[in-house]
Amino acid sequence: MNEIDLRYGEESINLTFDDRLTVLSTEPQNEPPLSDIEIGNALDAPLESPALDELVNTNDSVLIVVSDATRATGSAQIVNLVVRRLIQSGVSPTNIGIIFATGIHRPVTPEERVELLTQFIVQRVRTLDHDAYNRDAFVSLGTTERGTPIELNRALTEFSKTILLGGINFHYFAGFTGGRKSICPGLASAETIESTHMLALDFQRGGRRAGVGVGLLDGNAVHEECERVAEIIRPAFGIYTVVDRLKRVVKVHCGDWRLAHRVACEAYLKEHSVAIQDKRDLVIASCGGLPHDINLIQAHKALEMASYACKEGGSIILIAECRDGFGRSDFLKWFDSTDSAALERRLVDQYEVNGQTAWSLLTKAERFHLQLISSLNHADVHRMKMDAAKTLEQALKRVGDYRNGFIMPRGASVLPRLTS
C-alpha cells in the first residue's frame, strides 16, 4: 500500500491506495527554489530585451503589475528584487506603483496584500487596486480589428514604464496564464473582458471554438485578442514564474513581454505534460490547496485537467476547499438551466465570463460522475449537478469497485495527454 497527502486549503487529506491508482505528477522531487542570486542572473540576461537597469532612468515612473490572491507567482520575492533594482537605477520610490490585476475577481484584502508583496514593500511603495466595473477608472484606447473595445485601467497610461509579473500555468481556454492576461483581463473593464472571453465559444456550431483550449496559443482566438489589447500598452518588461507545491519560485523567464511569455509557455507545456496510455475509471484530483482551491471558479481548472484522464461515464473526485465560496455571488444562477445546451443558448444573448465557466462545469457533470469535497453547502453542490462528499472515504465508497484510476495531487498543473 502507498500513501499520499492531498492538499485541501491549508490542510491535507491523507489517502492510502493500492496499485490500481497511479499518481500523475510532473514535479521533480526535491527541486530547490531559485535563490535571489539566480533570479538576479535571469534579470541580467533577459530574452530580446535590455536589462532592467538599462530600461529605466531617473525620470521614469514604473508600474509593476502583479496577480491577486487567486494565483501563486512568488511575487513577494520577485517584487522585492525588482523594486530594489529600480531604486538602484535611480527611480524614486515615490515613482513606483504596484497594481493588482484582479480582472473581475474580488479586491485584494490587506492581509493578502502583505502576503503577496511583504510588509516591507507595502509600507514603502504605493499599491493600487482595480475594479472592472468602475467606469471612471478606465481610459478608452479604441477598438481592435475584431471590434473589441480597448478599455484599460487608467494607471497603465500614467506611468512611463510597465512591468508585468505573472505565473505560468495551464488555462482551460486561454491556453496559459501570464503574459497578456496581466493586462487583459487583469486590468481591463468588464466589457473588454467579456468581448475577449466570449471568443472561446462558437455560437454558430456550438461548444468550444476551434483552436481554443488548454496549452494552445497559435490559433487561439482568446489568447490572440487579449494579446492585441495588451500590446496597446507596450509593456517594457515581462517576468514569468513557475512555482512548486510550496509556492516557491523554481523557474523564471523574463525579457520582452511577449517573447518571454511564449518561451515560458512552451517550456511549461513540455515539462508539465504527462503521457497516459489510456483514460481510466476514476480520477482523484486535488487542486493543490490554497490559492488554487480558494473558490470553485478557480478549482474548476483542476477539474478540467482531470477530465482529460477520465473515461466517459467514469468518476472524478475533486478536492477543493473553496473557502471563498464560488468566486462570484451570482455564479449559481447559471445552473437554473436544464442542461449545458440550454445554458449555452442563454450565453448567446446574456454572455458573462462566469457563465462560460458554469457551462464548462456542467458539460463535465453530464459526462462524468462528479463528487466534490469542499466547504460549500451540499444543496448548492447538488444544484451544480455534482454530488457533495464529506470525506474522501465517503466519495470512494460511492464509486464502489473500479478497475484503475489516477491521482492528481496538483490537478491544474498537469496536462494528461493520450499517447495514442
pLDDT digit string, tens, across residues 214-271: 999 999 999 999 999 999 999 999 999 999 999 999 999 999 999 999 999 999 999 9
* CATH number of the domain that residue 73 is part of: 3.40.50.11440
* Per-residue model confidence (pLDDT) at position 147: 94
Among candidate residues 249, 270, 291, the one where a domain is terminated: 270
Q: State what percent of residues in the chain have pLDDT above 70.
A: 100
For the sheet with 249-255, list strands across it: 126-128, 96-100, 62-66, 161-167, 237-243, 249-255
> Does 191 share its domain with 134?
yes
Q: Both 86 and 106 in a single domain? A: yes
- Mean of the pLDDT values across residues 92-96? 97
Residue 27 binned pLDDT confidence (cut-offs 50, 70, 90): confident
Average pLDDT over residues 159-163: 98
Residue 384, domain extent: 2-26+274-418
Q: Are residues 279 and 260 in the same domain?
A: no
Q: Is 298 part of a structural domain of the chain?
A: yes
Integer angstrom CA distances of residue 127 from 94, 104, 241, 333:
11, 18, 21, 34
Q: Are residue 313 and residue 261 in the same domain, yes or no?
A: no
**Does residue 57 belong to any structural domain of this protein?**
yes
Residue 30 has pLDDT above 90, yes or no: no
Q: Has residue 222 been placed in a domain?
A: yes
Q: In this structure, are 58 and 41 located in the same domain?
A: yes
At 362 the pLDDT is 98
Say if residue 44 is in the same domain as residue 19: no
Same domain, 44 and 158: yes
Domain endpoint, select from 223, 247, 270: 270
Q: What's the structural domain count of the chain?
A: 2
- Alpha helices of 185-239 — where are they, by DSSP H? 190-197, 221-231
CA distance 222 to 337: 25
Cell of 86: 529600480
Query: At 405, which CATH number?
Result: 3.90.226.30
| Per-residue pLDDT at 1 exceeds 90 | no
Do 120 and 214 have their domain in common? Answer: yes
Q: What pLDDT score was predicted for residue 295?
A: 97
Cβ contacts of 40 within 8 Å, gap of 6 or more: 81
Is residue 420's pLDDT more than 80? no
Phi then psi for 330, rounded to 5 degrees?
-100, 15
Distance in angstroms (rounded) separating the CA atoms of residues 25 and 318: 16
* Local confidence band at 398 (pLDDT 50, 70, 90 cut-offs): very high
Judge if 242 and 303 occupy the same domain.
Answer: no
Burial bucket for residue 7 (CB in 10 Å: 0-12, 13-18, 19+):
buried
The answer on pLDDT for 13 being more than 90 is yes
Provide the angle, in degrees to the nearest 10, between the axes of the packed helices 36-44 and 75-88.
60
Does residue 296 sit in the same domain as residue 165?
no
Q: How much is the mean pLDDT over the chain?
A: 96
Could you tell me what percentage of the chain is helix, strand and coil, using 3-state DSSP and rounding each to the nearest 5? 35, 25, 40
In a domain, 393, yes or no: yes
Angle at which helix 296-307 crosses helix 353-367, to 10 degrees, equals: 40
Q: Helix (H, G, I), strand (E, B), or coil: what is residue 359?
A: helix
From the list 178, 181, 217, 173, the residue with the least C-alpha distance to 199 is 173
Distance, in Å, from the CA atom of 344 to the CA atom of 253, rounded to the nearest integer, reads 38
Give the separation between CA 109 and CA 68, rounded to whole angstroms. Answer: 10
3-state secondary structure (DSSP) of residue 174:
coil
Q: How many CB atoms lie within 10 A of CB 398?
A: 13
According to the model, what pLDDT value does residue 128 have? 98
Whether residue 28 is predicted with pLDDT greater than 90 in this model: the reply is no
Say whether 171 sits in a helix, a strand or coil. strand
Contact of 98 with 128, CB cutoff 8 Å: yes
**Under 8 Å between Cβ of 296 and 318:** no
In this structure, the answer to whether residues 161 and 251 fall within a common structural domain is yes
pTM of the model: 0.95
Of 214, 244, 270, the position where a domain reaches its end is 270
Question: Do 119 and 259 sit in the same domain of this protein?
Answer: yes
In a domain, 60, yes or no: yes
Question: Can you give the pLDDT at residue 212?
Answer: 97
pLDDT grade for 95, boundaries at 50, 70 and 90: very high
pLDDT at position 29 over 90: no
In a domain, residue 31? The reply is: no
**Hey, what amino acid is at 161?**
K
Please check whether residue 362 lies inside any domain of the structure: yes
